[in-house]
Amino acid sequence: AEQIATSASSYDKIEEFLSYQPTILEEELLILLEEKIIKFKPNLVAITIPFPGNLFAALRCSQYIKQHYSKIKIAFGGGYCNTELRSLTDTRIFNQIDFITLDDGESPLLRIIQFLNKEIKIDKLERTFVLENNKVVYKNALPNTIFHHKDLPAPNYKDLIQNKYLSFLDVMNPMHRLWSDGKWNKLTVSHGCYWKQCTFCDVTLDYVGNYQITTARKLVDKIKKIVAQTGTTGFHFVDEAAPPKILKALAELLIAEKIFITWWTNIRFEKTFDEELCQLLAKSGCIAVTGGLEVASDRLLKKIKKGVDIAQVAKVTHNFSKFGIMTHAYLMYGFPTQTEQETIDSLEIVRQLFENDCIQSAFWHQFTTTIHSPIGKNPSDFDIEIIGPKFEGFAQNDLYHVDKKGAEHHIYKEGLNLALHNYLNGIGFELSMQDWFNFKVPKTTHNPNYIVKQLL
């Protein structure tokens, strides 16, 4: 499913696969769907599609509903639609569904319900694609209805079956294990990212660029409500980058009110996270943080506009680790103009961060240009050339590029992953960079005590 929907600039392949008989797994899914339809008798089904891999299953469900319950209306929304379907012109997806909403779902969904109840005309829909006269039309009545993050109620998890989540304990990466180990109550501390500057990130889109904050009081009230509803005290704050100031206020209030929860979140490795704050966060129940180190190169961190340097990342991650907070770094290779030497030096920094117990988990991603990022918008500023894919009316997000100044990035994937796999298991620190690659690579230019010196 992921392959069919990834970089699907054309709808052709998706339509072809939808014409095949459902697989055994899909049949099981459709049996569950049928049970729900009989139980709830909906007249609107809204499906969230967070990632490309979720699209096909959502379409299978829609196809089934349209075939067997043609009166039920179907709406799609979520991260995949928000990033990939903004330029939609292909009408064929509307054979399976009726609405596609963009960005925050509250007001589009409210308007769709009002429209279906005949309370408003179709032109009053907000941020919603519909099919009109056999054309895809974007309806967006202005001004939009704004539901500010601070005014949103606690998410309602009443109908989730709490005890049926699988625990993937055999996953090797510690952070991915935490992610998949049973069920976490999901909550957002803030909407969007307070930094919104990284040049590879979707900063032009609402989910990153539209930063909205709430108060610690409101967060704690939501936490209490969710604990009472679910009976579980584990929280994953699903922020793009949780702001340190509000995390501090939240931790103080949790401690003051003796609310005992376990929580983890995504942050930026910024200097506000000093020893004192990390200790406070740990005391309030913080067990893990994830953050972007991206390319461990000060030259490239500047180009990324990450707002951190290696020395700062070393200190901050060490502060977290000192108080037992597991720290995971998102790593990147293949950033525009990144040289072979910088890739090797970046790996050496990662080695030292593991060796000095600054981070306990990490994951390499190869850089991809996305259309909504500053790099995708101005590729020549970053010395790359966009060469595809040709847009054919459906999804548009990942772009192909040529990086004439950079190394041949893809050849490092295996070696980087092999080294990381060893470091994750606390071994291989004594091996040289060359030992991870089956072709000749340069020696690192970093002093083996580079990170130790930053921690003094």
Angle at which helices 244-256 and 275-283 cross, to 10°:
40
Class of residue 384 by CB neighbours under 10 A (exposed 0-12, middle 13-18, buried 19+) = buried
Stretch that binds ligand SF4, among 175-183, 192-200, 389-397, 402-410 (CB under 6 A): 192-200
- The residue within the footprint of ligand SF4, chosen from 26, 240, 345, 348 (CB under 6 A), is 240
Is there binding between residue 193 and ligand SF4 (CB under 6 A)?
yes
CB closer to ligand SF4 out of 59 and 198: 198
Instruction: Name the CA radius of gyration of the chain, rounded.
Output: 24
Residue at token pair 């601070």: 150
Is there binding between residue 241 and ligand SF4 (CB under 6 A)?
yes
Shortest CA distance to 55 belongs to which of 112, 11, 107, 109?
11
The number of beta carbons lying within 10 Å of the beta carbon of residue 447 is 11
CB closer to ligand SF4 out of 291 and 428: 291
CB closer to ligand SF4 out of 66 and 305: 305
Give me 44's structure tokens. 């609107």
Distance of closest approach, residue 198 Cβ to ligand SF4, in angstroms: 3
Is there binding between residue 419 and ligand SF4 (CB under 6 A)?
no
Stretch that binds ligand SF4, among 173-181, 191-199, 310-318, 444-452 (CB under 6 A): 191-199
Distance of closest approach, residue 243 Cβ to ligand SF4, in angstroms: 11
Is there binding between residue 289 and ligand SF4 (CB under 6 A)?
no
Per CB under 6 A, contacts with ligand SF4 among 194-213 are 195-198, 201, 203, 208
Is there binding between residue 331 and ligand SF4 (CB under 6 A)?
no
Residue at token pair 């910024």: 270
CB closer to ligand SF4 out of 17 and 211: 211
CB closer to ligand SF4 out of 241 and 420: 241
The number of beta carbons lying within 10 Å of the beta carbon of residue 143 is 6
Is there binding between residue 268 and ligand SF4 (CB under 6 A)?
yes
Give me 348's structure tokens. 């050496």
Q: What is the DSSP code string of 211-222?
A: -B---HHHHHHH
Is there binding between residue 272 and ligand SF4 (CB under 6 A)?
no
Give CA–CA dist 356/455, Å, rounded.
9
Beta strand 73-77 with 135-139 is: unpaired
In 49-182, DSSP assigns E strands to: 73-77, 99-101, 128-132, 135-139
Binding site for ligand SF4 (CB under 6 A): 193, 195-198, 201, 203, 208, 240-241, 268, 292
